[in-house]
């Protein structure tokens, strides 16, 4: 018999054992690649269909943040610190990586709630829904990178050859975002407060993380940055693009491993609990 036999019973995953969960998750993700793409397309097309400037909305928020910091710096209110490149390039690059995390987390944490009653009418892979919601922030990231490329041309600079490693060095921040997105989308499904809190928390975090300024050498922010995984995930890729080397590579590797662990743990938790949440959406 080639037909698939599916069983549903309480505490299914506990009875099957943890090892089989990995195989199940892998098979599900593999089988649903096309579904994930279609959900991404749905998400992407619908947001920009009734809008004139479409995808370029992705540039508005980072540009405003960067301009604000340029003005604050000029006015002498805030010191950007010691940086190794023209500030607009430095800031836009930082924002591109940061937005991948913050916009990604906002989108993925809202993925299940946004699907709404669809979840209680059709049985389909909810993992695809969360992963697909990362698509739009990813496209925004690419658009921001185009702007960075234009800035490089404007300043007559060349990025480091290490720019070709970008697809690899953004993997940890992507995994961390999707991992946390899995959990937050579940929690948001049960308790709606998460969606409201998250926007505030992320804005707060952006100012605490050296994204738009260099890491201070002394003070509470310096101390906080040492233990802030996002600092390493943003600054190491940025340094690689700008100079080809980074002083924070050790921190980056440690954070990457932590991100992978978080991703796997969150994926397993999501897998075990997704049906329970479907009842409560």
Which residues bind to other proteins, rule: CB under 8 A?
1, 3-14, 34-35, 38-39, 41-42, 45-46, 49-50, 117-124, 186, 190-191, 269, 272-273, 275-280
* Smallest distance, other proteins to C-beta of residue 172, A: 24
Residue 10 or 156: the one with the smaller Cβ distance to other proteins is: 10
* Smallest distance, other proteins to C-beta of residue 173, A: 25
How far is it, in rounded angstroms, from Cα 205 to Cα 225? 11
* Smallest distance, other proteins to C-beta of residue 63, A: 27
Q: Can you spell out the DSSP letters for 93-111? A: HHHHHHHHHHHHHHHHHTH
Residue 176 or 186: the one with the smaller Cβ distance to other proteins is: 186
How far is it, in rounded angstroms, from Cα 260 to Cα 241? 23
Residue 57 or 124: the one with the smaller Cβ distance to other proteins is: 124
* Smallest distance, other proteins to C-beta of residue 248, A: 33
Upper half-sphere CA count for residue 281 (Cβ side, 13 Å) = 21
* Smallest distance, other proteins to C-beta of residue 113, A: 14
* Smallest distance, other proteins to C-beta of residue 10, A: 5
| Angle, CA 184 vertex, CA 115 and CA 116 arms, to 5° | 15
Q: Is 183 helix (H, G, I), strand (E, B) or coil?
A: helix
Q: Which long-range contacts (CB under 8 A, 24 or more apart) does 261-265 make?
A: 262/175, 262/176, 262/179, 262/180, 263/175, 263/176, 263/178, 263/179, 264/179, 265/179
Residue 110 or 255: the one with the smaller Cβ distance to other proteins is: 110
How far is it, in rounded angstroms, from Cα 116 to Cα 188? 12
Residue 254 or 261: the one with the smaller Cβ distance to other proteins is: 261
* Smallest distance, other proteins to C-beta of residue 138, A: 19
How far is it, in rounded angstroms, from Cα 106 to Cα 198? 7
Residue 74 or 121: the one with the smaller Cβ distance to other proteins is: 121
* Smallest distance, other proteins to C-beta of residue 54, A: 13
Residue 31 or 245: the one with the smaller Cβ distance to other proteins is: 31
Q: Which residues, other chains included, contact 108 with Cβ-Cβ below 8 Å and sequence gap of 6+? A: 130, 131, 133, 134, 177, 178, 180, 181, 182, 184, 185
How far is it, in rounded angstroms, from Cα 268 to Cα 263? 9
Residue 13 or 160: the one with the smaller Cβ distance to other proteins is: 13
98 within 8 A of 1, measured Cβ to Cβ: no
């Amino acid at each position: 018999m080639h037909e698939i036999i599916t069983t549903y019973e309480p505490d299914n995953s506990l009875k099957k054992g943890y090892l089989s969960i990995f195989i199940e998750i892998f098979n599900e993700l593999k089988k649903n690649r096309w579904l994930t793409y279609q959900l991404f397309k749905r998400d992407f097309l619908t947001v920009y269909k009734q809008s004139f400037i479409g995808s370029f909305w992705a540039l508005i928020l980072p540009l405003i943040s960067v301009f604000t910091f340029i003005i604050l710096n000029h006015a002498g209110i805030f010191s950007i610190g010691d940086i190794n490149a023209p500030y607009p390039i430095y800031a836009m690059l930082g924002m591109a990586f940061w937005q991948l995390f913050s916009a990604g987390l906002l989108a993925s944490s809202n993925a299940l709630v946004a699907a709404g009653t669809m979840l209680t009418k059709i049985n389909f892979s909810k993992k695809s829904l969360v992963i697909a919601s990362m698509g739009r922030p990813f496209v925004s990231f690419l658009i921001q990178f185009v702007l960075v490329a234009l800035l490089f041309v404007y300043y007559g600079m060349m990025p480091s050859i290490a720019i070709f490693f970008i697809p690899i060095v953004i993997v940890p921040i992507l995994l961390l975002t999707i991992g946390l997105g899995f959990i937050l989308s579940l929690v948001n499904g049960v308790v709606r407060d998460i969606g409201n809190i998250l926007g505030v928390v992320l804005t707060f975090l952006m100012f605490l993380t050296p994204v738009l300024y260099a890491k201070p050498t002394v003070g509470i922010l310096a101390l906080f940055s040492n233990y802030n995984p996002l600092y390493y995930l943003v600054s190491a890729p940025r340094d690689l693009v700008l100079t080809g080397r980074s002083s924070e590579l050790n921190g980056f590797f440690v954070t990457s491993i932590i991100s992978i662990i978080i991703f796997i743990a969150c994926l397993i938790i999501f897998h075990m609990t997704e049906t329970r949440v479907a009842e409560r959406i």
